[in-house]
Amino acid sequence: MIKAEFGIIDTFRKNKMYSQYEPQKYHCVAIDDDVYINDWWHKLMEIDTFNMSLKQPQKALSRWGITIIPPESLPTFLMIVENDRRFYKDPNLFALSNLVRQAISKNKYMIHFGV
């Protein structure tokens, strides 16, 4: 499995460059990049995100890098995850959904580590 990992940034620093691969620090949940991200790509293009810092706005995810997902983009991301037809069959999608819901409830930024 080529994995995409998602975690919650507990204390987001607006001027920080999030350039280090630290999935354990953010208690990341991994999903299969080839299976899910490819299928979701056209929907992910609707989400406002940042490439490693707030100074680099973009759409979707950095497939081979680090993405910051702001709180205002999380409801759309959650809808993409939960509307996947495989949602109830893959415990990793369910875990990702729970993580996104937690970030939404706490108004937190999320981090994504690409392939």
Provide the pLDDT for residue 2.
84
Q: Considering the domain delimited by 3-113, tell me its CATH architecture.
A: 3-Layer(aba) Sandwich (3.40)
Nearest Cα to Cα of residue 15 among 55, 49, 74, 51: 55
Please write the tens of the pLDDT for every residue from 58-103.
Answer: 999 998 999 999 999 999 999 999 999 999 999 999 999 999 999 9
- E strands, 19-98, are 29-32, 48-51, 57-59, 66-69
> What pTM, to 2 d.p., does this model score?
0.95
Give dist(CA 90, CA 57) in Å, integer.
Answer: 31
| CA-based R_g, the chain, Å | 13
